[in-house]
Structure 1
Amino acid sequence: MDIIRVGIDLAKSVFQLHAVDRREKTIWRRRLARDEWLNVLRATVPLHAQIGMEACGGAHYWARRLQTLGYTVKLIAPQFVKPYVKSNKNDANDAEAICEAMSRPGMRFVSVKTVEQQDVQAAHRVRTGLMEQRTAKANQIRGLASEYGLVAPKQILQLRRAVPVWLENSDCCLSDRFRRLLIGIWEDLRALDERIAELDREIAAIAASDPVAVRLQQLRGVGPMVATALLAAVGDARQFANGRQMAASLGLTPKQNSSGGKERLLGISKRGDSYVRCLLIHGARAMIQMARRRTDALSLWVMRIAANRHPNVAAVALANKTARIAWAMITRETDYHPELAAQ
């Protein structure tokens, strides 16, 4: 069979394959189990064929496996596959849509993540989950304590100071039973603090050992957390033709609703990785606070925006510029040049 392209719909246990030849005619369809699909594909599909998959859970793992075997792998964002799904949605139609989508000349593909990228990404995701658990635990403590007339300030630092005082104060209206419960959830909160601190140290160690992350931290508003999250998301950034494309992939450029030659720009698109975008914007907010006391070109540029626009607009504009500068530093392997930052 002269197969040139194969679309694969991934799942937990069942994999649907759809292959076409040089005349774009469907010549092979198979529904295979997880433990057999790779062997069948190797025996049927020649190495010159391209393999396409949606960039979903497990896609990067399978892409690396296929690349090891010598195949060219294309990962496509699910929203770019959906327009090619014909009729009802099922595994066979999804595989056919993937095969069709990857043939388009203007299609955008997702770069395959390395194991190191996924390790760093996993560390950030675990940390985010732990922080959500810590916030929920702190709110639980506040809610339960308020039923006994005890109120703590909103900041978690103040809560850490208040709980030991409540437990040590025998005059508090706390029953023995609730005191034991409070000790338990207080220990849970401290355990979450320790786990988050461990991950902070691990991420800082990764940022200190990676040369690209070290260079990125020359940027203002970029620390170990932002640098490692950005590298985990974009890798070598060579899938982007320029810095604007990378900023757009992170959702930092405006949406458009233009028609009839009239351009109408809306708020930022908020596409891509919301976690990385959030970190970049928070870093930009911190940089703006410092820029009020600086006279360099970048500080003057962002303060001119902040003087005329909402502070959030200035923060997003600076985050956009940070992403563009980061693209240049990653792809060209250069250091940060402050004199070029405001251009």
Structure 2
Amino acid sequence: MAKLHRAGELTAVWVPDPEHEAVRELVRAREAPMEDLRRARHLQSFPLRHRPSSVDQGAYTMAVRATHRAAVQYLVLAEYRQAIEAAEIRLKRLDEQVAEAVSSWSMAPVVAAYQALHGAAFLTAVTFVTEIGDVRRFDSPRQLMAYLGLVPCENFTGERIRRASITKAGNGRARRVLIEGAWTYRFPARMSRLLQERQAGLTKAVCDIAWKAHVRLCARYRKLMARGKRQAVVTVAIAREMAAFLWAIGQEAEPHGAT
């Protein structure tokens, strides 16, 4: 190990501190009620399973109400509704706990700066920071893209290079929230009231980077779609560039107590 260190062959590994691990576990705990809520909402197809086929749309409401008056079916519907309400209450409670924990966290300035970027709302920014940490540990945006698994696989055959789908290496949670955020760039670029509120109090450098990303990625989304690319491929491409802009914003925002 000493010889490898002297030769510069060792790669430094980022180890989160106890506070960072605690916030990360809290954010990850939110995934369970989120999945429960998503699964419970699928149960809302219950009325459709009992929709009479012989009635028109105008008589549908009366027919469904009559069907639900059956005792057993009413209990089933009540259980479905209670499952949805319980998941929503638990999710809301965890959202409040995450917001409270982040407010006193050393990485709070970084979370606030990331929210200047379109498609990176509070939960997206928090998830990205808890999973990736300080992006300044990456020397370039390309390193961050590769770490997230958002770069294509490469197969070498002699001098021929064949590129395939993305590697999906690295942190899957951070990659997922970026891809979810990339969907918002399918609309034309505009400064919404909510985005203005998120950028209030941030430095001009951060806001300039965010607006540059907004204009570029919205135009790139439309351009790739016009070229006939599949929407999933376009979204991943936008997510990859989002990571680069988040890296740039991370160079401008410093955590509390950073030296």
- Report the TM-score, using the length of structure 2 for normalisation: 0.70
**Equivalent in the alignment of 2:38:** 135
Helix, strand or coil: the match of 2:116? coil
**Equivalent in the alignment of 1:227:** 125
Q: Distance in 2 between matches of 1:103 and 1:260?
A: 34
**Gap change, CA 1:205 and 1:247, over 3 Å in 2:** farther
Q: Distance in 1 between matches of 2:184 and 2:10?
A: 37
Q: Distance in 1 between matches of 2:103 and 2:119?
A: 16
Helix, strand or coil: the match of 1:264? strand
| Residues 292, 299 of structure 1: 8 Å contact kept | no
| Residues 120, 229 of structure 1: 8 Å contact kept | no
Q: Which of residues 114, 130, 135 is equivalent to 2:17? A: 114
The residue identity in structure 1 corresponding to 2:178 is: L
| Residues 185, 217 of structure 2: 8 Å contact kept | no
Query: RCO higher in 1 or 2 (8 Å CA, sep ≥ 6)?
Result: 2
Following superposition, the deviation at residue 228 of structure 1 comes to 0.6
Alignment of 1:36-75 (within 5 A): none
**Gap change, CA 1:286 and 1:142, over 3 Å in 2:** same
Following superposition, the deviation at residue 112 of structure 1 comes to 0.7
Q: Distance in 1 between matches of 2:226 and 2:102?
A: 34
**Gap change, CA 1:213 and 1:310, over 3 Å in 2:** same
Q: Distance in 2 between matches of 1:302 and 1:138?
A: 30
Which protein is richer in strand relative to its size?
1
Which protein is richer in helix relative to its size?
2
Q: Distance in 1 between matches of 2:156 and 2:44?
A: 50
**Gap change, CA 1:231 and 1:292, over 3 Å in 2:** closer
Structure showing greater radius of gyration is 1
Q: Distance in 1 between matches of 2:28 and 2:166?
A: 24
Alignment of 1:11-160 (within 5 A): 106=9, 108-140=11-43, 142=45, 149-150=50-51
Identity %: 25
* 1:121-164, Cα deviation, whole Å (9 max, x unpaired): 22332221112222333345646x666x259xxxxxxxxxxxxx
Q: Distance in 1 between matches of 2:43 and 2:175?
A: 29
**Gap change, CA 1:139 and 1:300, over 3 Å in 2:** closer
Following superposition, the deviation at residue 191 of structure 1 comes to 1.0
| Residues 284, 319 of structure 1: 8 Å contact kept | yes
Count of residue pairs brought into register by the alignment: 219
**Equivalent in the alignment of 1:217:** 115
**Equivalent in the alignment of 1:286:** 184
Following superposition, the deviation at residue 217 of structure 1 comes to 0.8
Structure 1 stretch displaced more, 185-194 or 131-140: 131-140
**Equivalent in the alignment of 2:226:** 307
Q: Which of residues 199, 208, 223 is equivalent to 2:94? A: 199
| Residues 152, 165 of structure 2: 8 Å contact kept | yes
* 1:154-181, Cα deviation, whole Å (9 max, x unpaired): xxxxxxxxxxx97xx4x22553244234
Runs of 5+ unmatched residues, structure 1: 6-21, 24-99, 152-164, 335-343
In angstroms, what is the RMSD of aligned CA positions? Answer: 3.4
| Residues 249, 271 of structure 1: 8 Å contact kept | yes
**Equivalent in the alignment of 2:75:** 180
The residue identity in structure 2 corresponding to 1:183 is: A
